[in-house]
Structure 1
Amino acid sequence: MRKMAMILAATLCTLSSVPAFAQTTSTQKDECLLASKNCMNQVDDIRKRIYKLDKEIRKGTRVYTPQELKRLQDKLNETSEILRTLEKPDS
């Protein structure tokens, strides 16, 4: 009886973690980068933001629509320009 209860508890624990794991797949859209949604407690430096934008753009049309890809590319260009401006020596 005790063994059966342990197996049942382990099964329930395993099954309850599946939805959380499914939310972290690589085919999921990054709503924070795309539309500034679900950005709670997320602060990135400029280089990390560029890396994340590039990573999302590489997913291509299997995850994003062409309009969303254009929006991400525009954000990448804007962020890259900000980085170039910050890295310029004062003249």
Structure 2
Amino acid sequence: MKKIAMMIMATFALAAAVPAFAAEMTKEEKDQCLLASKNCATEVDSIQKKIKKLNAEIKKGKKVYSADEIKKLQGKLKEAEDMLDVLLGLKGGAQ
């Protein structure tokens, strides 16, 4: 339970710390944001929205991403799905 509370507090702290200004991201910045969580200052998504975006990017496949990048995206997707499961009490410390 303590773990979940810390995750929720961290999520709110990060959301509050991100500036709320609108700026168009370049394709490279968007890719870096998806792959490595870099330069995401203007992008704050819910976990469900992040999962949806990651699935959409993975579906683009090798036409857009290298095999290594696809693996990274799949890893990010698994992390987001696991976090959602924990927050919903489907896994881990909520029992």
TM-score normalised by the shorter chain: which range applies? 0.5 to 0.7
> Aligned-pair distance for 1:80?
0.2
1:37-81 deviation per Cα after TM superposition (whole angstroms, max 9, x unaligned):
332311011000000100100000000000000010011011101
Relative contact order (C-alpha < 8 Å, sep 6+): which is higher? 2
> Residues 65-76 of structure 1 correspond to what in structure 2 (within 5 A)?
65-76=66-77
Counterparts of residues 25-36 of structure 1 (less than 5 Å): 30-36=31-37
Residue type of the alignment partner of 1:68: E
Aligned length: 66
- Gaps of at least 5 residues in structure 1 are 1-22
TM superposition score normalised by structure 1: 0.63
1:57–1:72 contact (8 Å) kept in structure 2: yes
Q: CA RMSD in A?
A: 2.2
Counterpart amino acid of residue 41 in structure 1: T
After TM superposition, list the pairs within 5 Å mapping 1:1-91 onto structure 2: 30-88=31-89, 90-91=94-95
The runs of 5 or more residues in structure 2 that have no matched partner are: 1-25
Identity of aligned residues (%): 49
TM-score by length of 2: 0.60
Instruction: Please tell me whether Structure 1 or Structure 2 has the larger radius of gyration of its CA atoms.
Output: 1
CA distance in 2, matches of 1:70, 1:32: 15
